Structure 1
């Protein structure tokens, strides 16, 4: 016969209707309410949770400003606090929690000193305001942090008198803070068993030795180490005591990730067919947290728009070059693209650097050399039945700026994203004119309540300089497919040049989504996409529009939401029927 177990915890709180926030806090604080079924049959487990709940409930009451409360926890009618641990009951059939909150206290005397000269007046920590324990704690914490931000690394609370005056329902708070000396960054040592050389760890962290202490600088140093991807964890610890010369030493402890990693991915579309990707990654190939990533892709396998496309690339990155926030990269790539209008065989080499100007702002500047051999299928065949070919070499300077304020890159619910790219190019050999290609991608996310997210995306692109017939085909714009207009066939919208259909010299796209959570890890999505392609770089008078709409399903996983979109055309003459898209991550 199974042991008895209580089915629920009964919480009795007078004036519960008047104190909904307090009731919620008390329920959330109860360990008894979260015990698993097997623990509910064990008297020792139940008693231990009940006796721990006294302190947890009082903490929840203090956080709401109730300092005269009484708490009783009854196990089968016995006060849990009076039961000795060695005399725990074998089983517990009923649990009652009775809370008498009493009156809510207000703040009386509020004195925290000394405060840093840059401190602003407290908004909630003032006489007459609700005496929430969180308010008191935050006021003391912000005072200490204010001194730390000015370089006083050892600032701390040295004395506090917190007096609850029950006759007047007031809480007097007197706190004394010792700022200590103003300090500068001293020596940095590296601990742990990292395969990355210690000088490189210090160089990547970029702690500014000799400069005034700043907690933000310490946090940025740890973030730089983590962002390399080489380290599983990175912690920076300050010395217990400062040095006699006014400096403070630090120790960096890092734990390495496995140096090598392989991965693969797949995406399928009813029109584009199957896309397969794979990569091999080495996180510390030269002992200085350098990364080498070799990646291959086969796309449009079994698709109905052109033949298979193939690419192979190798990218090398070295962090902390010309400063801790600048990363050097080198890229080599071979690409074969088979489209209805052309075949493009390209070899590309690129050198450059990326710089993090802040947590949200990143810039990139490179120099690239590209050799392309193009087979123009849109032109008549020659006497031998072959399409005309052209070959050229371009020198370009790809530049980008990215501003990312999203709460998540894979599944954003709040924030903004903006990326601007410009790539000026010059013809080194072959025919054609020099020019530039520009792109702009803007996204915004807004939560409505707890279960609905509104997402919007706008895209603009232009090619200036060469005519479309002379431009590199991959620089031209098309619309249709998962990255632009779902429901329209992939790259189905192009531009017309004297009877010849090619990619456009301008592009505009607009997408909107409504994402609704229906279960804990399942959501449905409604979306509408619009795209424009024109033959001139600017304006909307010499091109065509099309649009698509549909519904999607998302299933959240640890690597991002699995995505299924089903869409069809709404306007334009570029497609018909239903398109299906499968992938990982939101569409944008």
Structure 2
């Protein structure tokens, strides 16, 4: 056996020793490898005396004796070399040296391999969002179409389409799993809708198939099966006896045989929850319904538990809050009930709205609280607890307008709403304009001695420079009024008062044929009465309004001349469709008891302008003096019609106005002038902003060609 073969056998034996315990490998001398297989102390053989390649190094007998006995069974394990075998000793020594050299050659372990692995729940598998130098490709999009069947028979298809997840996806999804998820969601939606309509055995299934060219599109179908319609069986209310006895059954409008629809049932319960506090039960509690379905008869027995609480009546008010505005005495003014009146939640809502309308609070709430005190009729007294926190008392406001003939007009105001509690306000107002300047100070006491009644005193000074006249005016007024507000619009409104005016004005004196100035002292008792059936104070869309003014007056310039200023106005609003409202106005006025030329120019009637007849300048209509300026009159009439078309927060308003001023005490209707135009509206939370452009029809010399009006609010 050659040395190469031996070496091969040794390697094979080492391989086996590494795998099987108790196996040793005898290392065989390799020719030409000195120091191997002999002690290190032995002298190296002379090359000349070296044995030839085929010379036997280890005799066969010695080798066989050193090798373990091999059993005839090839599957039997090898036995270990004898411990006292020299070959075994040499082989083990050589194996130890080889292993030591191998271990020294292994590089030190990198620190990363010694570090602890992160917990499994913190191990992130997300791929990096962006790789350097690699551009993102477009997202994959799957297109789909969808349809629903079976819901149109129960009139539920439109509602289903409004809520459908497939519809909201707009026919696109990132992958097919998302399409499937939307389909499953719509399955559940269809079942909920059918059950809400009384089909409690309803089922729905969705199918998703490939369709379209190259089958690259998905087709989704939701198939709904309503099943039989369930109806109400027995209807019962579990509650203590009420007063009157039929209070509960009368206000729960459910009866045997009605479809068991969710909206019908919920609406009936909501009605009962609303009616009980309106009929003396402020603490009533409507519990959770119980419906027992019968699959054989397709009916459901309905049971509703109700806790009535004590039947109650009003006593008075309590209040709390860290910054209180009103005390108990002033709160009593807002009550539209007397002590002992049966509790009615509508009257509580009325008090809350009235308090909000004062604009005195940052937050305010009104709720009933039990007192434990019984009234003579057997009901329990309740108080209304007002939780109030004062708001900021001061307000700055401004208004800017423009119109042809009147120019720019800027009005600003400062208000302290509670300078003289309760509700004693001080208001300062200033006007700066092209043709008007002035200032007014007003004291106003709201809810004076009675709810919604206002007492006010005003002191003002004003300068006006119009085409008709120029005046310097001082006035002192006192007024009691009952007014509407944007929060609290009232059907009936009124005011009455006293007004004292001193005015220095120029006029055209027909007696001398020239303009002169005069000073008048005017005393008046102005009154007003209004009736409002419109649906909104600032932007009405239906209903009508009627207003009447009467002011007995006397002007003193040398002699007292009594007269009366009267005016009647009516407006109406008719919705042609949801986006178009036709609005109309008619107004007439008369001043009996005095000649026109004896009237101060500022107390005469005029027409023309943005709040009168659009298309004409301010005070432009009516008789004129020889110098071409308006002189006013003792009567007038005005008419207007417009179509208000609104789209979103904007609108377009074409209109036609008409009117005239007359010398006589009654409007004759002759020589009525017309103006036509179009306006734009921008609707805000405080009212519409108005821009109108108009031109006179059959324009006369000296009249405006085009008039522009910019202001806040509708024309009427």
Matches for 1:78-93 after TM superposition, within 5 Å:
none
Q: Displacement, 1:222?
A: 0.7
| Mapped pair 1:279 → 2:406 | no
CA distance in 2, matches of 1:430, 1:50: 92
TM (normalized to structure 1)?
A: 0.79
C-alpha contact 1:488 1:576 (8 A) present in aligned 2: yes
SS in structure 1 at match of 2:159: helix
Matches for 1:112-191 after TM superposition, within 5 Å:
116=244, 125-157=254-286, 160-165=289-294, 167=296, 170=299, 172-175=301-304, 177=306, 179-191=308-320
SS in structure 2 at match of 1:561: strand
C-alpha contact 1:376 1:389 (8 A) present in aligned 2: yes
Residue in structure 2 matched with residue 84 of structure 1 by the alignment: none
Residue in structure 1 matched with residue 361 of structure 2 by the alignment: 231
Residue in structure 2 matched with residue 251 of structure 1 by the alignment: 385
CA distance in 1, matches of 2:412, 2:421: 25
Matches for 1:406-425 after TM superposition, within 5 Å:
406-425=534-553
TM (normalized to structure 2)?
A: 0.66
CA distance in 1, matches of 2:246, 2:526: 43
Q: Displacement, 1:448?
A: 3.0
Unaligned segments of structure 2, at least 5 residues: 1-135, 211-217
- Go from structure 1 to structure 2 and tell me whether the alpha carbon gap of 1:498 and 1:338 turns closer, same or farther (over 3 Å shift): closer
Deviations 1:341-361 (A, max 9, x none): 322322222222223699532
Matches for 1:52-451 after TM superposition, within 5 Å:
64-70=197-203, 100-102=225-227, 105-107=230-232, 109=234, 116=244, 125-157=254-286, 160-165=289-294, 167=296, 170=299, 172-175=301-304, 177=306, 179-199=308-328, 202-203=331-332, 205-206=334-335, 208=337, 210-212=339-341, 213-239=343-369, 242-245=372-375, 246-299=380-433, 301=434, 308-355=435-482, 360-379=490-509, 387-394=516-523, 396-427=524-555, 430-451=558-579
Root mean square deviation, CA, Å: 4.4
| Mapped pair 1:452 → 2:583 | no
* Greater CA drift, 179-188 or 57-66: 57-66
Q: Displacement, 1:440?
A: 2.9
* Greater CA drift, 246-255 or 286-295: 286-295
Q: Displacement, 1:427?
A: 4.5
SS in structure 1 at match of 2:536: coil
- Go from structure 1 to structure 2 and tell me whether the alpha carbon gap of 1:74 and 1:538 turns closer, same or farther (over 3 Å shift): farther
CA distance in 1, matches of 2:363, 2:168: 31
Report which of the two has the higher share of helix.
2
SS in structure 1 at match of 2:672: strand
- Go from structure 1 to structure 2 and tell me whether the alpha carbon gap of 1:367 and 1:515 turns closer, same or farther (over 3 Å shift): closer
C-alpha contact 1:163 1:171 (8 A) present in aligned 2: yes
SS in structure 1 at match of 2:620: coil
Q: Displacement, 1:214?
A: 1.9
Report which of the two has the higher share of strand.
1
SS in structure 2 at match of 1:216: helix
Number of aligned residues: 557
- Go from structure 1 to structure 2 and tell me whether the alpha carbon gap of 1:187 and 1:430 turns closer, same or farther (over 3 Å shift): same
CA distance in 1, matches of 2:416, 2:250: 51
Q: Displacement, 1:267?
A: 1.5
CA distance in 2, matches of 1:251, 1:10: 58
- Go from structure 1 to structure 2 and tell me whether the alpha carbon gap of 1:188 and 1:18 turns closer, same or farther (over 3 Å shift): same
User: Which structure exhibits the higher relative contact order, with contacts defined as CA atoms closer than 8 Å and separated by 6 or more residues?
Assistant: 1
Deviations 1:442-476 (A, max 9, x none): 22223233322222222222222222222343332
- Go from structure 1 to structure 2 and tell me whether the alpha carbon gap of 1:70 and 1:265 turns closer, same or farther (over 3 Å shift): farther
C-alpha contact 2:691 2:710 (8 A) present in aligned 1: yes
C-alpha contact 1:242 1:249 (8 A) present in aligned 2: no
CA distance in 1, matches of 2:138, 2:314: 61
CA distance in 2, matches of 1:473, 1:496: 13
CA distance in 2, matches of 1:575, 1:121: 68
Q: Displacement, 1:29?
A: 4.9
